Copies of this chain bind each other. A is one copy, B any other.
Amino acid sequence: MNEFELIARLTQSLPTNANTVLGPGDDCAIVDLGLPDRWLLFKTDAIVEGIHFNATAPPDKIGRKALARCLSDFAAMAGTPTHALITLALPTHFKVDFIEAMYGGMNALAARHHVAVVGGETTTNPERLLLSLAVVGTVQKGHCPTRSGAKAGDAIFVTGELGGSRSGKHLDFEPRLAEAAWLADNFSVHALMDISDGLAGDLPHILDASRVGAELLSDAIPVSRAAKLAARAEPSAKPPVLAALTDGEDFELLFTVASHDAVRLVDAWKNPFPELRLSCVGKITAQQGLTIRDKQGTRPLTEHGYVHFA
């Protein structure tokens, strides 16, 4: 049983209550506390030494990443994070300077986004450092794009460039909070999430939740310089487009809008975000399944990449 099968089993019978708007399965949970115009967003995320980072990474960037991952989930709901709690599970041997620098990186990112760190706890995890963040925030009521709203005919967009994040970007990425807020304010965003497991791994979450399919255009995938450099340096590395589809930790936005909004969006985007690329990478289809089209034809795409022609 893999992680996704276990989660599916565990989430079948979770208790709920009347003011739960959205439970498990999206980037944040949504709760209605009775505010006239806002919902509460609620999210946790953990990083573990040796799994999500190595202890040789700069500690300020480790701390920054732990919080940035959570903030990216708020961007994925077009929400505003406001308060965070930090759970710090310390190994038997730790350096106070390292922990302080880690907090420094977290605090700097929090302060820049006006997120208050209101406490947390320390505990012991003898073999390795584990850092878990819990974040709350709000989003405009009824104005929060989830994964389930994609419609056949929608244009699919991604921000930035994809692939090769683990060569550096994963420690330094910018959560796309401003971009997502602008999108939700100015467009009817049908579905929205952040890309953490690769475009080919994450787009199916939107497709499943929305009960639709999608066709991507290989030539339209924005391939990062890091993915291109990696392919050039090492002949056995993934081809750049495949890296852009399947490498994890991009933390870019993936979203859909009605096709009649697509051109207006591309035009309007350049004004607030002249430095950040926006790419239309394909379209939502009524027929379920995910395919990718290139010069050779149209092929099924799995989370691990192409299904090769026989």
Instruction: Give residues in A with beta carbon < 8 Å to B.
Output: 1, 3, 6-7, 9-11, 13-17, 19-20, 22-26, 29, 31, 33-35, 38, 40, 42-48, 50-52, 82-83, 85, 87, 89, 96, 99-100, 103, 107, 110-111, 114-128, 130, 132, 134, 136, 138
The answer to whether A10 and B85 touch (CB under 8 A), given A34-B35, A136-B136, is: no
Give bound CA distance, A96 to B111, whole Å.
40
Measured in the bound complex, the distance between the Cα atoms of B119 and A26 in whole Å is: 9
Q: How far is the CA of A158 from the CA of B230 in the complex (A)?
A: 64
A23 to B121, CA, bound (A): 12
B35 in contact with A96 (CB, 8 Å): no
Bound-complex Cα distance A64 to B100 (A): 33
B31 touches A103 (CB 8 A): no
Instruction: List the B side residues contacting A138 at CB < 8 Å.
Output: 33
12 new A-B contacts, CB < 8 A, other than A14-B117, A125-B125, are A15-B110, A16-B117, A20-B83, A24-B117, A33-B35, A33-B138, A42-B85, A44-B120, A46-B87, A52-B123, A126-B128, A132-B132
Query: Which of B13, B89, B99 makes the CB contact (< 8 A) with A46?
Result: B89
User: What 5 pairs across the A-B complex have the smallest Cβ distances?
Assistant: A24-B119, A29-B118, A134-B134, A15-B111, A14-B117
- Taking a contact as CB atoms under 8 Å apart, the answer to whether A44 and B116 are in contact is no
Q: Tell me the complex Cα distance, A238–B87, Å.
A: 33
